[in-house]
């Protein structure tokens, strides 16, 4: 009985052993092949070294895949945030100096971001408001901060009576003088945390400091 071509081309055990002996670096060059192998070796109930190596490789491969998926998801989120931030900046830059910056900022942030509260507020030196006192207290010596806030702080910043929540705040300091802050908030205490960072809000604050409307507002206040 003649063998089929497929049977002739299929390597047997001796062929595999000979190939591996002639190519001792095969698994070094192709670690993915080793990670997919299922090798059983019974030796009085003990796990063989090869089995352990394969298990470690599979665990490492699974962890690398999880990390890659996480990084990819964060990159996609950052791309969405950057695009929305650019939309807000472009819309504010297109408005005149006499536009109500507070109303404009709130409406744009609610339009382009999934947020509950947003506010632009000037920092008063004389007779500071509750919002100014709260912002200064939360910021301290920092230019931006993010984290949980108490109900009275959330109320002072956004006029909310929803109880405890969370907020992210960034200070605006135009070259013409004066100071203001922008803040976003939520009635969810976990929505904004220190681990999230304030990169995009700080970037927005720096750009807003150079906009004509902000310079004009601060200049008029100084006068």
Q: What pLDDT, in 10s, does the model give residues 30-83?
A: 777 766 666 555 555 555 667 777 778 888 888 888 888 888 887 777 777 777
Position 38 scores a pLDDT of 60
Listed by start position, the domains of the chain span 98-222
Position 1 scores a pLDDT of 44
State what percent of residues in the chain have pLDDT above 90: 13
pTM score, whole prediction: 0.58
The CATH code belonging to domain 98-222 is 3.30.450.40
pLDDT in tens, 148-165: 999 999 999 988 776 889
Residues comprising the chain, all counted: 223
| Pairing assessment for the beta strands 165-172 and 144-149 based on DSSP bridges | antiparallel
C-alpha to C-alpha distances, 113 to 77, 164, 167, nearest whole angstrom: 12, 21, 14
Mean pLDDT of the chain: 77
């Amino acid at each position: 009985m003649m063998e089929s071509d497929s049977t002739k081309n299929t390597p047997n055990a001796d062929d595999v052993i000979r190939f591996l002996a002639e190519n001792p670096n095969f698994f070094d060059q192709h670690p993915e092949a080793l990670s997919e192998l299922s090798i059983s070796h019974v030796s009085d109930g003990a796990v063989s070294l090869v089995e352990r190596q394969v298990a470690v490789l599979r665990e490492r491969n699974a962890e690398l895949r999880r990390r890659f998926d996480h990084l990819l998801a964060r990159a996609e989120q950052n791309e969405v945030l950057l695009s929305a931030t650019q939309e807000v900046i472009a819309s504010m830059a297109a408005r005149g100096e006499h536009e109500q910056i507070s109303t404009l900022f709130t409406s744009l942030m609610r339009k382009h971001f999934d947020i509950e509260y947003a506010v632009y507020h000037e920092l008063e030196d004389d007779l500071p408001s509750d919002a100014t006192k709260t912002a200064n207290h939360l910021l301290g010596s920092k230019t931006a901060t993010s984290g949980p806030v108490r109900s009275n702080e959330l109320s002072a910043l956004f006029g909310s009576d929803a109880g405890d929540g969370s907020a992210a705040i960034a200070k605006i300091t135009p070259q013409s003088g004066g100071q203001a802050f922008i803040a976003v908030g939520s009635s969810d205490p976990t929505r904004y945390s220190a681990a999230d960072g304030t990169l995009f809000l700080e970037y927005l604050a720096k750009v807003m400091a150079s906009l004509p409307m902000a310079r004009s507002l601060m200049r008029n206040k100084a006068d």
